[in-house]
Each structure stands twice: as structure tokens, then as C-alpha cells.
Structure 1
Amino acid sequence: MSNSPEWIKKSAIYHIYPLGFCGCERTRDEFSGEVHRIKKIIEWIPHLKAMSINAVYLGPVFESAAHGYDTSDYTKIDARLGTNEDFTEVCKALHENGIKIILDGVFNHVGREHFAFKDVKLNRERSRYCGWFCNLNFGGNTAYNDGFWYEGWNNCYDLVKLNLRNNEVVEYLLNAVKMWIETWDIDGIRFDAADCLDNDFIKRIHSFTRSMKPDFWLMGEIIHGDYRRWANPEMFDCVTNYQCYKGIYSSHNDRNYFEIAHSIEYQLGQYGNIYMYNFVDNHDVARLASNLRDYDRIYCCYTLLYTMYGVPSVYYGSEFGIKGAKGNGADADMAIRPCLELDDIPGRDDTLFEHICELGAIRSQFPALQSGSYKKLELKNQTFLYQRELDGQVVYIGLNISDGDYTFNVGTHYARLADRLTGKHYDVSGGCARVTVPKNHSVILVDANTPAPVKEEAAKAEEAKPAPVEIQALKAEEKPVEQVKAEPAPVKEEAPKGTPSAGIPEGRKIVIGGHYKHFKGGDYVVLNVAHDHETYEEQVVYMQIYDKPKVWVRPLKMFLEDVNDHGNIKPRFEFIDKME
């Protein structure tokens, strides 16, 4: 049995790096004034629920001088993000929407602005906090020229290593965690640099948090090694699954499913009771879309992520297939920790977003995908078929990254199978179903008699969904690419995020064939005006003319209105000229 609490097995996690997500200044010295940026998370809650997300893992939120991993105060929200009161609102809103909260616990080290280290700099050998830090040497020095040497994490001297064998330090950190639980009712902690932490400290914080919340979840950041050293009944519930992180993108790049299949089987054999934290990218590594040599294989990557043993985690923005690679120097991580606005994500892949929404809904309905056993059914370099089973419920997953269609022969005791990704049904004859999967596609096959779930968000979206639109007079080079489905993407796109309406100026009208620019960037051409089948509300049908062509639908009134962009009144879409 897994050591993890039951709720994590039913979860899909959304990982946010708040300082980047909220567009904060790179350093605390560059900031002044008062902001409430952290409340932006509240605006994204409908987006999270559309993906069936029920846990959010937030990177560092506490006061620091730079990137958040150089903590200066464990009890105060970073002023670049907002206030403690703002964060209280965020946590309350998340919990009210059934979303649990996991915070980043940076306990191996503190920043140079931490009060105890500042006291050491001021009072040197006389400081009562000398015992708080590892290997202080007042006969040495560092590049900061403090006149003494100390141990920094990985030779980074802006990260001062704490002495976790000092009981006063441990009590100080436990009191901070107590404050997090009592004030914000957090549900779990991800431990940064977990391989550097003292084992007795981990055991103590494990028992401490369990005494406060019996279902509290602890996850350690581990890159290499035997995961059982850290994930066991006395320490962490699980660790970051870097082995399968690499295996997922690498097996798709090399078209070699033997790699990831080996990793899955090895882990289940060695760590079967550890409910892994699975991911395809995060705040420290390149985005999956940048790692893949063939972008079209990204859909199979996410199907695998959501159907393998462990809890899946999506890094903010990657649900749209955005790219980002690590750079060099002080700003090496900027490209993988961007500020994002839901209604203005350049090059967004809404087909991928809808795929992840489907995966989340499917996983939440089938316990076999949450904690069922795993069995390999067919494995070739470019195709992979496996099943998950729990209490008689069997789910079959097929992946195809070959150069064409591939037909799986799926042995099953069910009378008929249904693919939850496409809705297609397959007859079973002689205990076998022949299931043909197109190139770079996947199937999730279940008993066809299992009713499909009806999500509240999906039902609301369906009520507001415009009728399908036929577009007649497009030039050859403007022909739509999969976009005429006018699927849920327009529903997501039509909701303004944090930009209040300022009304429609008198006389402003829509121009069919007009070239428009969105107030946050991006160029579009208006194709037509349609009517919602149910409400008869007028809807603008328009196509983006940057990146990959994509067609959108938005209510006419919203398209024409002015917006209040931080005090500046401007058109949501500014007319440029008529396109020939």
C-alpha cells in the first residue's frame, strides 16, 4: 500500500511558479509600493477546474531577495506578490473550489537577508546565531567578502545552508510550518533540495505535520538515487519522478517506448508502494514542447503522464504547449518562468488544452487510473499498449507514434469498448477488439457501458457554446487548420481575465474582413458574424494571423468594447484596416 494520503491519488496537480506567473520584478530591490498580484491565481480557478485540477503546488511565495529560494522571512508573503491577507483570500478561494494547496518548503538554506544571517554578519563570533549555519569559519571568506566563510548550497553563497542538527533551527522551521497550516490550512509541502536535508529533520517534520493534519502530504525534490532513502513511512510520501520525466520525452524523441516501459516496470518493482509525483516539465527544466523533436507527439506524452502510476502534474502554461528553454547566467530561468495571461498566450495550442481537460476528466472518473495495477500488453518501439486494473475495473491505454495508423488487438472480457478520448466504440469478437489508432494519437479504452461523466464546468460551457460556424470565403492560404470545430477553445478565450469592460463607444461597428489588433498584442482578421443557436446572441468569428492559424469565437459586444487596462481606456480589439 502507498504511504500517501488518499486525496493525492485522486488528484491532478497544477504547478505554478508565482514570482514568474505574476510578472514580479527579478529582485526585491527593483520593487517598491504595494501590489496584490498573488490574487491573480483566483482568476485562473475556472481554468483549473476545466482541467479537473484539484491541487495546486505553488513555488516559493515567502519574502526573499530574488528568486524565492533565498528566503528571508518564512511567515511573510513576498511583497512583490502581495500581502498575507491577499494570500488568505487565495487559499480560501482555492479551498472553496475543492482545490488543495501545496507550498514549497525551502528548509535547506536561507537567503543572505535572513535576520539570523544578518546578525552573524553584524556581530560575527559574538552572534547568538552562529550555530544556525553550517561550517562557519571566521578565518575564511567568500565572494561576498563578509570576512568569514560559510557553506552555501551547491557553492551558491546567496543560499546559506542551515544547520538542521540545531534544535533551535528545527523549532524555528516547525513554527513556520505550524503558522502555514493554522493560517492558510495548507495541505502539503514540496521540500526543495530534499537530498541535502538531515534525515532526522525530515522524520520530525513528518510526525509534526501528521499530528496537525493526518492527511498532510510531503513530497521531496530528488533528482537521482534510490528513492526509498527518502520516500518511506517515516519521511516523505513521495519524491519528484525525474527518472520518468526524462523517460517520457526521451522515449518519444527516439521513438523507443522500451525506455519508458522499462522505467515504469523498474519503479513498480522497486518502489511499488511509493505514489510518485509525475511531471513532464517544471520551473527548473525546459518545457516539454522545447524538448520534443516532433511537437505532434506531445499529445501521447500527456496521455502517458495521466495514465501511469502516480499523480500527474502540469506546469503552468504547458497545457497550451508553450515553449521555453533554460538560458545562461543570472537570467537562465526567465524563459521557463514567464508571466502569463489567459486571454493572451501567443501560439497557444487549444487542441492540447482540450486533450488535457479530457485526460483530467477521465482520470477522475476511473479509480483504476488513480491507483490500479499496471500490466504491459504489447510493446514495440513506436507503439505501446498497457492496462490499469482495480477491483475488476480495467482501462486500456494505447499509444502510437509510428509513421501511420496502427491496429492494436485488445484482449478484453468486456462486450464492447469505448475510447474516452474520441467517443468511438469498438465491437469485441472472441474476446478481442481491433482498435486502429492514427499516427501520434492515443486511446483510453473502457467498458462501453460505463456512462461518461458530466462535469459542472462542461455543462455550463455547453449551454454557452455557439453553434458550429461554416466559413465560406477564405483565401486558399487562410484555410482553417482543425479550427472550424469551434470547440471549447472559444469558450475559454471569451472570458476576460482581470480586464474590466469600459463599454462600447457610440458608432463603433464590426468590419467583416477587417484587420484588428488585440490590446495585449496579436493580429486577427474578422471572418464573419454568427448567431448563437440557443440565445441568438451575435458572435464574432475571427482568425489569428500570427503563429499557427486558429479561429476564435467571441460575443460581438465583447469584441467591440473598450477595456480599462490599468487605468488606460482602449479598444479590446483595435481596427487597423480592411484586408484585401
Structure 2
Amino acid sequence: MAPWYEEAEFYHIYPIGLTGAPRKNESEETVHRFSTLEQWLPHIADLGCTAIYIGPLFESTTHGYDTKDYKQVDRRLGDNADFAAYVKKAHELGIKVVVDGVFNHTGREFFAFRDIQEKREQSPYCGWYKGIWFGGNTCYNDGFSYEAWRNCFELVNLNLQNQQVRDYLLDVIDFWIDEFDIDGIRLDCADCLDFGFMEQMRARTSAKKQDFWLMGEVIHGDYARYIGDGQHLLHSVTNYELHKGLYSGHNDHNYFEIAHTIRREFDENGGIYKGKKLYSFVDNHDVDRLASKLNVKENMIPIYALLYFLPGIPSIYYGSEFGIEGRKEGGNDDPLRPALNLEELEKNPPAEKLPAWIKTLSDVRKKHPAARTGRYRELMLTNRQYAFARLDETDALITAVNNDENQSAGVWIPASCDGTWKNAVTGEAISPENGKLFVEVPPCGCVLIEKEA
């Protein structure tokens, strides 16, 4: 039986945004906003999602990634007891909970950095950060310089080759497992992290909780470096390569782009990540919403079908299941991370058909083991139509999509003549002719075909 995370469907929440919390943490008061987050749990379960990735949650100064206390839930959201109750309620609904692990850097209000500001060369924490130099200075006029993440000097890079730092962070992870019973961690900036630290984290978390999941944010490069064979590194990383193809392949009427990406990554004959489970998404807290990226918004229907049935672990970013829009404004990510009213969205979703369609995709995915863990096989490909199968020894599911917004497409798909084929949504029988199945795929549409033994 596959581990829970290989078959999961994720729901991604940026909690500071969803709850409408202030973007700056300037009050000493703890404001209990987890009741807002709890209101979304039944909706998340109803969509079919089996896991939540929520974060950042550590007490921070502004956006959540400038940590000032790793063992305290951000007071703008609530306290530790609030989050423990939230995890318990999620677990009661059969939903796993994964949190953001911000371990590449801290904020300037973190105790170790403040100690350096106060004691300078005499601080025992000088070795905790990269590039501390008391002959330099920064834009904050500290009287010393340091290495910052992408020259954002509010984010001070930790020295993860220092075992004291590693031990501190591993203790933090133990605390979050013991205190809240979390099920995994999404590692922020995993492509910046020290590999030795990630190996120690994998060993520590696996020993503490056997099915604990580690997923890394990796934007560019060879994903296999982080999820290599064996038990030493991460279980999964973000599939940014597929993310880009999913929207641009539809905007350009070019299914060859998506198919080439999948062939390169997962083809059963030579895919470089064959057998590995990458984390798939159409949007997240760092990139424009799908509805804002598409030339033809109706293409959300085939795109979400590809998200659910191409190899990978699918993730829905909060609100995007309703088709909401959101674009970055210069360097400002706030439009991607809005406060939302669930009741209003359910009554008047911007994309009326999308929520029910995503639930349908989830239902079909749960019914078919091959759709979750089976081999990938490309069956048919043109610029505007694309069909592929997910297969295992006892199960098969075919996905056919059409990115043409003006007309339906009659598609012939190579298929086995053994058994009975039918539309997985309507139940309509589909009879093979000369080793092929014929289906009519609507404009900006999708047809799912299942095989009965």
C-alpha cells in the first residue's frame, strides 16, 4: 500500500492572507483567527482533499518568512492551543496537516540575531549565520554585515553547516510533531538548504513518525538531486516545470509543451523522474492565480483534469477552486494572498462550474489506483488535443483534453479491446473500433474514460 502522501490531494492555505490578518505583526495582543480557518475544513473535505499544506505559521515580523520565534504560532493567527485544536479537527475529517518549515533564514528579531546586535563579537551565535563580518555594514546600519537571502536583508541566512544550528532546528521539528501532531513539512527555499541538514532531518523525522512527509520548494534545476533513491533526502519537491506548461500550453494552443515536459519527467521508458512523486500545482502564494494567467478562462476545466491525472501529487491553492483572480503588483504578493469569504464564494463562484468539476476529478481519482500511482503512457497528441493513460496491472484510466475554445474535437484514442470502456463521469459506454476509442471532447473540455475488468 502506498504511503498517504503519494495518494494525497492537497489544499494549500496562506493563513495570514486568508484570515485577513495584518501584514505587519506590531501588536502584543494575540488575536484568535483559527475559527476562520476551521470554517474551511468541511469545504476542504467536501472537495476531496486529504491533506492541507498551511503556512507560514511561525511567529514572524511581516509576511511569515521572517521568523522570530520557531516555537510559537504567529499571534496574528492565534496561539499554540488554537493550532493544536485545528490539527485535531482536520485529523477527525481524515485530513493530514503539513506546515511550512522556514529553515534557510530567520528574521532580524530572532533571538540569535538580536544577541549578535547586542554583544557583537562576544555573541555565542556569531557562527549561526552566514557571512557575519564586523568590518562591514548593511542598509539597517547594524555596524556589521551578513549574507541575506537574495539580498533581502530582513532575511538573514542561517549557517546550516553549523551543527548547533542543525540541532536547534531539529529540536524545533520535534516540538511541532510532539506539540501539534503535524504530518509533514514543506521546506521553504529547499534549493538553498544544506544537503547534510536535509539528510539529518529525514533520519530524525522518519524515526519520530514513520510516515512523516518532507517536501521541498525547488524552482529550477534537477529535482532528482533532492529526492534521490534511498531514504536520505526529501520525499517530493515542487514541480515548477509542469506548472509553467499547464497554463502556457493552453494559452498557446500547444499541448506539445505539456506532453514534452511529462515525457521528459515521467515517461515509462526513460522519464528522468519516473516513479517519483512531485508536488503539482497550477498556482500558489508566489505566482499569479491561474484565472489571471489564462487567455481563455474556460481552459481551467482541462487544466485541472491534467493536474489531477498527470503523474504527481495535486494541490489546490485556497480560493482557486472557485476561479478567483489575483496578480502580483510589482514585488507585492498581497493580491495573491487575499482574505476570502467562503459563504460568498460558494454562492457566487467566479467560475461557476469549477468547484463541482474539481470534486468530480477527486472522486474519479480516488476510484482508480492507477490514476494515483500508475504508469504514464501518452496515447494521442496534437496542438489542441491530448490523451494519455494511467495504468497498473489491474486498472486503467484515460484522460482526453481539448484546448480549442471554439469547437469540439472528435478524438480517436488507441486502446485495448479487452474489457469494457465507459465515460467515467456519465457512465456512457464507449466501444472500441479497430483498437481505438472514439470520443467527442467539448471545447475547453475533458473526457475521462475508465476500463472495467
Per-residue CA deviation, residues 492-521 of structure 1 (Å, 9 max, x unaligned), is xxxxxxxxxxxxxxxxxxxxxxxxxxxxxx
Is 2:265 the counterpart of 1:267?
Answer: yes
Q: CA deviation at 1:418?
A: 2.1
Whole-Å Cα distance in 2 between the matches of residues 33 and 151 of structure 1?
32
2:211 match: 215
Is 2:409 the counterpart of 1:406?
Answer: yes
Q: CA deviation at 1:412?
A: 3.0
Task: Please list every run of at least 4 consecutive aligned residues from structure 1 whose deviation after the TM superposition is greater than 4 angstroms.
Answer: none
Q: CA deviation at 1:386?
A: 0.8
Q: Which runs of 5+ in 2 are unaligned?
A: none
Q: Secondary structure at the match of 1:350?
A: coil
Whole-Å Cα distance in 2 between the matches of residues 386 and 261 of structure 1?
9
Is 2:304 the counterpart of 1:307?
Answer: no
Whole-Å Cα distance in 1 between the matches of residues 76 and 28 of structure 2?
8
State the AA in 2 paired with 1:342.
L
2:111 match: 115
State the AA in 2 paired with 1:93.
K
Find 1:353's aligned residue among 352, 355, 368: 355
Whole-Å Cα distance in 2 between the matches of residues 431 and 193 of structure 1?
48
Per-residue CA deviation, residues 116-166 of structure 1 (Å, 9 max, x unaligned), is 101110111111111111110111111001111011101011001111111
Find 1:178's aligned residue among 174, 188, 199: 174
Whole-Å Cα distance in 1 between the matches of residues 419 and 219 of structure 2?
44
State the AA in 1 paired with 2:321.
E
Find 2:21's aligned residue among 24, 37, 43: 24
Q: CA deviation at 1:208?
A: 0.5
Asked whether the 8 Å contact 1:39–1:89 carries over to 2, the reply is no
State the AA in 2 paired with 1:9.
E
Find 1:205's aligned residue among 201, 206, 217: 201
Whole-Å Cα distance in 2 between the matches of residues 217 and 239 of structure 1?
11
Q: CA deviation at 1:426?
A: 2.2
Asked whether the 8 Å contact 1:11–1:364 carries over to 2, the reply is no
Q: Secondary structure at the match of 1:344?
A: helix
Q: CA deviation at 1:220?
A: 0.8
State the AA in 1 paired with 2:423.
D
Q: CA deviation at 1:32?
A: 4.9
Is 2:450 the counterpart of 1:446?
Answer: yes
2:223 match: 227
Q: CA deviation at 1:279?
A: 0.4
Q: CA deviation at 1:78?
A: 0.3
State the AA in 1 paired with 2:317.
Y
1:336 match: 336
Q: CA deviation at 1:364?
A: 1.1
Q: CA deviation at 1:401?
A: 1.5
Whole-Å Cα distance in 1 between the matches of residues 428 and 175 of structure 2?
51
**Based on CA coordinates, which of the two structures has the bigger radius of gyration?**
1
Asked whether the 8 Å contact 1:5–1:215 carries over to 2, the reply is no
Find 1:15's aligned residue among 7, 12, 15: 12
Q: Secondary structure at the match of 1:163?
A: coil
Whole-Å Cα distance in 1 between the matches of residues 23 and 221 of structure 2?
33
1:239 match: 237
**Equivalent residues, number:** 443
2:73 match: 77
2:95 match: 99
2:288 match: 286
Whole-Å Cα distance in 1 between the matches of residues 160 and 29 of structure 2?
35
1:373 match: 375
Whole-Å Cα distance in 2 between the matches of residues 217 and 57 of structure 1?
11
Whole-Å Cα distance in 1 between the matches of residues 225 and 420 of structure 2?
45
Identity %: 44
Q: CA deviation at 1:102?
A: 0.6
Q: CA deviation at 1:413?
A: 2.7
Is 2:318 the counterpart of 1:316?
Answer: yes
Whole-Å Cα distance in 1 between the matches of residues 417 and 34 of structure 2?
50
Whole-Å Cα distance in 1 between the matches of residues 352 and 43 of structure 2?
12
Whole-Å Cα distance in 2 between the matches of residues 274 and 407 of structure 1?
33
Whole-Å Cα distance in 2 between the matches of residues 90 and 304 of structure 1?
31
State the AA in 1 paired with 2:293.
N
Whole-Å Cα distance in 2 between the matches of residues 323 and 310 of structure 1?
24
1:497 match: none
TM-score by length of 1: 0.75
Whole-Å Cα distance in 2 between the matches of residues 17 and 129 of structure 1?
31
Alignment of 1:529-548 (within 5 A): none
Q: Which runs of 5+ in 1 are unaligned?
A: 451-580
Whole-Å Cα distance in 1 between the matches of residues 257 and 436 of structure 2?
27
Q: CA deviation at 1:310?
A: 1.1
Q: CA deviation at 1:231?
A: 1.4
Asked whether the 8 Å contact 1:62–1:74 carries over to 2, the reply is yes
Is 2:127 the counterpart of 1:131?
Answer: yes
1:435 match: 439
Is 2:45 the counterpart of 1:54?
Answer: no
Whole-Å Cα distance in 1 between the matches of residues 32 and 107 of structure 2?
23
Asked whether the 8 Å contact 1:5–1:216 carries over to 2, the reply is no
Q: CA deviation at 1:347?
A: 5.0
Q: CA deviation at 1:431?
A: 4.1
TM-score by length of 2: 0.95
Q: Secondary structure at the match of 1:116?
A: helix
Is 2:424 the counterpart of 1:426?
Answer: no
More relative contact order in 1 or in 2 (CA 8 Å, sep 6+)? 2
Asked whether the 8 Å contact 1:415–1:427 carries over to 2, the reply is no
Per-residue CA deviation, residues 461-502 of structure 1 (Å, 9 max, x unaligned), is xxxxxxxxxxxxxxxxxxxxxxxxxxxxxxxxxxxxxxxxxx
State the AA in 2 paired with 1:308.
L
State the AA in 1 paired with 2:199.
K
User: Comparing 83-92 with 226-235, which one deviates more in the overlay?
Assistant: 226-235
Whole-Å Cα distance in 2 between the matches of residues 5 and 151 of structure 1?
41
Whole-Å Cα distance in 1 between the matches of residues 378 and 181 of structure 2?
40
State the AA in 2 paired with 1:202.
M
- CA RMSD, Structure 1 to Structure 2 (Å): 1.5
Q: CA deviation at 1:87?
A: 0.4
